[in-house]
Amino acid sequence: MEPWPPVDDDRLKAELGAALWDAGGVPEEYVTAARAAFAWRTVDAELTLAELVFDSASGAEPAGLTRSAGSVRTLSFRGGPVVVEIEVTDAGIVGQLSPAGGGRVSARTTSGTYEEAPVNEVGLFSLGAPPPGPIQLRADAGGHTVVTDWVCLR
């Protein structure tokens, strides 16, 4: 049995070097997760959260108002100077960003982005039908980037 710590520094250095070199590569899923975590380091400075301010499905309407029994759901989000309004039907999502001025909107689930669409010069956009489960919209328009609260549309 050899004494610990080894008395031969050169041998210890060789063993440590071999241990470091023989460790193998980092698994790709670890590299991907590390890059994703690093990308979030400045998320607060880059994004504004657009909070849900109206949902027609909530049922909290002033007395005397009636709603049709249609399948349209209207939601409004506000984040800083940006307002995102959407209507959700079985056919998809149509929406408008204010202030207008072109840009891009993407919709994502917990699994990732499921669709992206351009925003025209008056702020209008259209997306396909959302999948079941929570979704979040991200809008890059007019020099602003906002993400909505997560909402279940179906």
Q: What is the pLDDT of residues 59-104, one digit of tens each?
A: 655 544 444 555 799 999 999 888 999 999 989 999 999 988 889 9
pTM: 0.65
Mean pLDDT value of segment 119-124: 93
Question: Is 132's pLDDT higher than 80?
Answer: yes
pLDDT at 63: 45
Q: Is residue 82 within 8 Å of residue 48, measured between CB atoms?
A: yes
Q: Is residue 94 within 8 Å of residue 124, measured between CB atoms?
A: yes
Mean pLDDT value of segment 7-26: 78
> Band of the pLDDT at 22, cuts 50, 70, 90?
low
Distances (CA, A) of 56 to 14, 52, 65, 76: 69, 11, 12, 9
What does the alpha-carbon distance between residue 45 and residue 57 come to, in Å, rounded to a whole number? 32
Determine what percent of the chain is predicted with pLDDT higher than 70: 81
Position with higher pLDDT, 2 vs 57: 57
User: What class, spelled out in words, does domain 48-59+71-152 have in CATH?
Assistant: mainly beta
**In the chain, what are the domain boundaries?**
9-41, 48-59+71-152
What does the alpha-carbon distance between residue 107 and residue 126 come to, in Å, rounded to a whole number? 11
> Band of the pLDDT at 6, cuts 50, 70, 90?
low
Question: Is 107's pLDDT higher than 50?
Answer: yes
Determine what percent of the chain is predicted with pLDDT higher than 90: 42
